[in-house]
Structure 1
Amino acid sequence: MKFPEPLVSGRLVKRYKRFLADVILDEDGAAITAHCANPGSMLGLKEPGSRVWLSQSDNPKRKLKYSWEVMEADGALVGINTAHPNKLVEEALVAGRIGPLAGYHSLRREVKYGKNSRIDILLEDEGGSKTYVEVKNVHLMRQQGLAEFPDSVTARGAKHLAELADMVGEGHRAAMVFLVQRPDCGRISLAADIDPTYAAAFEVAQAAGVEVYAIGCDVRLDGIDAVRPVDISI
């Protein structure tokens, strides 16, 4: 995934109200407010003074011109925009980078299923067999080299796990793909101390036959690509 235009650098002042971030731009010292497309807690990724990079939009209908895309944390570039993971995983699937999910005839995104939900990615083979793929963004790192999910309580995430298990019960394949938007983690685990309910739901889903995969990203200032296998320690 390439950013359409060069990113603008700055320093984070604060992230607040979940979707807002105040930034001082490097170029001219202007103080601006950027959109933060990330509903999580961003634990460890909102330290004031952190170096950040923003995309710009010329859309006059947007309230905020800038969007927070990348930041520097723990000596690495980290992608924080949770609007990108589905696209990044789609590109990885098309390129065959997630072996067990490769070779499908068609791929569709945001398809209705379950109880008033939409699956992130639906894979279908020529015979009509379906695989339901849920994507979760990961960027929490509390121990060097170990990514963890989630970074806050996620009742919605537990609901998604139950719905994937339901699809397996109906005779389909279902998979959870964790997308690690940072290059410095080779393993992923569950942050059960942050959300024990999610961890319990994950165990139930795995026992029901939901598959689990993880792929890591190379994060650059010109784009992000999901290219690296990440070991699952769950």
Structure 2
Amino acid sequence: MKFDKPLIPGRLLKRYKRFLADVELEDGQIITAHCANPGSMLGLKDPGMRVWLSRSDNPKRKLAYSWELLELEDAMIGINTGHPNRIVEEAILAGTIEELKGYEILRREVKYGTNSRIDLLLQDDAKPDCYVEVKNAHLLRQQGLAEFPDSVTKRGAKHLDELAAMVKAGKRAVMLYLIQRTDANRFALAADIDPNYAERFRLAHDQGVEAYAYLCEITTSEIKLTNAVPILL
């Protein structure tokens, strides 16, 4: 996924009300940016951190700037949770995800389950439909270990139950964790943060829901899915 325009650097002043962030640009201007991330962003919102913003020319937008990336001394982190579906879709179409090759049709946001929409539905006449749920992971509390979730997610637990129901109905179901940070080399569930999610994952996995974790290559011009890493169950 390439950014439409060059990103703009700045320093984070504060993140508040979940979806707002005040940022000081390099010219000293202070702006408010949209933060498209409903999680706690644990460890990723300290004042003074170097951030990268996109700017929209759409006059109808309330906030012209969007917070896209966080730059640490040894890592780049994608914080915009609006991007993972597109990143994964591009990777599937390019054949990068070995486990999801061989489907003729890819559909987005298809209704299923109980008032839900699956992120990506893969279809082919020669095999069962494949329901793919994408989750963004950027929590890291131990060196190299990415985790999900960073806050309690009842919606995420519901998705696991619905994926398990798809397997029971004879379909294929996949939970794909997209790790949007460049300093990770493995993945685990943050069971101490959300024990219920970890338990629902275990039950869904036992019932046949597949799970994969993939890293990203992140620069100020592009975010691209690269390779799979181990999931520590």
How does the TM-score come out when normalised to structure 2? 0.98
Match of 2:199 in 1: 200
Give the deviation of 1:73 after TM superposition. 2.8
Task: Measure, in 2, the Cα distance between the counterparts of 1:103 and 1:91.
Answer: 14
Q: Report 1:201-216 matches (<5 A).
A: 201-216=200-215
Count residues in correspondence: 233
Match of 1:222 in 2: 221
Q: SS where residue 38 of structure 2 aligns? A: coil
Q: SS where residue 60 of structure 2 aligns? A: coil
Match of 2:32 in 1: 33
Q: SS where residue 49 of structure 1 aligns? A: coil
Give the deviation of 1:129 after TM superposition. 2.3
Contact 1:178-1:214 at 8 Å conserved across structures: yes
Give the deviation of 1:74 after TM superposition. 5.3
Contact 2:128-2:170 at 8 Å conserved across structures: no
What do you get for the CA RMSD once the two structures are aligned?
Answer: 0.9
Task: Measure, in 2, the Cα distance between the counterparts of 1:129 and 1:199.
Answer: 27
Task: Measure, in 2, the Cα distance between the counterparts of 1:125 and 1:100.
Answer: 14
Match of 2:15 in 1: 15
Give the deviation of 1:83 after TM superposition. 0.3
Match of 1:76 in 2: 75
Q: SS where residue 15 of structure 1 aligns? A: strand
Match of 2:189 in 1: 190
5+ residue gaps, structure 1, are none
Q: SS where residue 129 of structure 1 aligns? A: strand
Task: Measure, in 2, the Cα distance between the counterparts of 1:69 and 1:100.
Answer: 28
Task: Measure, in 1, the Cα distance between the counterparts of 2:227 and 2:34.
Answer: 28
How does the TM-score come out when normalised to structure 1? 0.98
Match of 2:63 in 1: 64
List per-residue Cα deviations over 1:18-56 (Å, max 9, x = no partner): 000000001x11010000000000001001000000000
Identity %: 65
TM superposition outliers: structure 1 runs of 4+ over 6 Å: none
Give the deviation of 1:126 after TM superposition. 2.5
Give the deviation of 1:91 after TM superposition. 1.1
- Structure 2: which amino acid aligns with 1:208? Q
Q: Report 1:40-59 matches (<5 A).
A: 40-59=39-58
Give the deviation of 1:98 after TM superposition. 1.7
5+ residue gaps, structure 2, are none
Task: Measure, in 1, the Cα distance between the counterparts of 2:179 and 2:88.
Answer: 10
- Structure 1: which amino acid aligns with 2:4? P
Task: Measure, in 1, the Cα distance between the counterparts of 2:123 and 2:194.
Answer: 33
